[in-house]
Amino acid sequence: MPLDNTLPHYPSPPPIPMKQKKYTMNHEWKQYKRKGLSEMRPYVKGEDLSKISVTGEDNPETDLGMIARNPKNHADQWYVSRKYFEDNLEEVMPLVKETMNNNY
């Protein structure tokens, strides 16, 4: 008599019940205010973007926006569209130590 190498069939476990409350994207999105500064530089037309995250909607070649980076991990970089940048960010003028020292 040949051996039966098939695995025994067990019934599938019952589905895990989902919570009754339905979640939509509108319930999960919240607004947050930045605590710190953003580090950015202008995108240079034609530069290599292979290590920079760019969404499908953005076109750096025609938009010429900004490249942002994580201040704690400079390898983590992403493209910021020109419109978003202009609507939401402005350059912080650096403090000049000599000027500060001359005022005291």
54-97: pLDDT as tens digits: 999 999 999 999 999 999 999 999 999 999 999 999 999 887 76
pLDDT of residue 34: 86
Percent of residues, the chain, with pLDDT higher than 70: 67
Distant-in-sequence, close-in-space partners of 21: CB < 8 Å, separation ≥ 6: none
Q: Residue with structure tokens 């019952």?
A: 14
pLDDT of residue 24: 56
The Cα-based distances of 61 to 2, 40, 47, 49, 75 in angstroms read: 68, 17, 9, 11, 21
Written as six digits, the tokens of 13 are 């476990």
Average confidence score pLDDT of the chain: 82
Query: Largest Cα–Cα distance of the chain, in whole Å?
Result: 101
pLDDT-derived band at 102 (thresholds 50, 70, 90) equals low
